[in-house]
Amino acid sequence: MRNLATLLRALLWMLILSWLMAAASASAGWSMLGMLDGRTYSMDVNNISSTRQGNRLFWALVDYNHETSHGARSVAMQFEIDCRNDKIRRVQAVAYRGDLQQGGVVWVNRQTSAWTNVSRDSLNQSAQLRACSKAIKGFKIYTDQFQL
18-55 pLDDT tens trace: 444 444 444 467 888 888 888 999 999 888 998 888 89
Phi/psi at 89 (5° precision) = -150, 150
CA distance 142 to 131: 10
Q: Going by C-beta distance under 8 Å and a sequence separation of 6 or more, which residues neighbour residue 77?
A: 59, 60, 61, 62, 90, 91, 92, 93, 94
The whole-number pLDDT of residue 22 equals 46
Tell me the domains of the chain and their CATH numbers: 2-133 (2.40.128)
The whole-number pLDDT of residue 135 equals 67
The whole-number pLDDT of residue 17 equals 44
**Does the pTM of the predicted model rise above 0.85?**
no
The whole-number pLDDT of residue 83 equals 92
Q: Going by C-beta distance under 8 Å and a sequence separation of 6 or more, which residues neighbour residue 67?
A: 73
Average pLDDT per consecutive 10 residues, the chain (148 residues; last block may be shorter): 59 46 54 87 90 91 87 92 94 91 89 93 89 66 40
Coil, strand or helix at 45 = coil
The whole-number pLDDT of residue 25 equals 44
The whole-number pLDDT of residue 142 equals 43
Spell 61-76 as b/e; 16+ CB within 10 A means b.
Answer: bbbbeeeeeeebbbbb
The whole-number pLDDT of residue 143 equals 42
The whole-number pLDDT of residue 78 equals 95
Report how far apart the first and last C-alpha atoms of the chain are (Å, whole number): 59
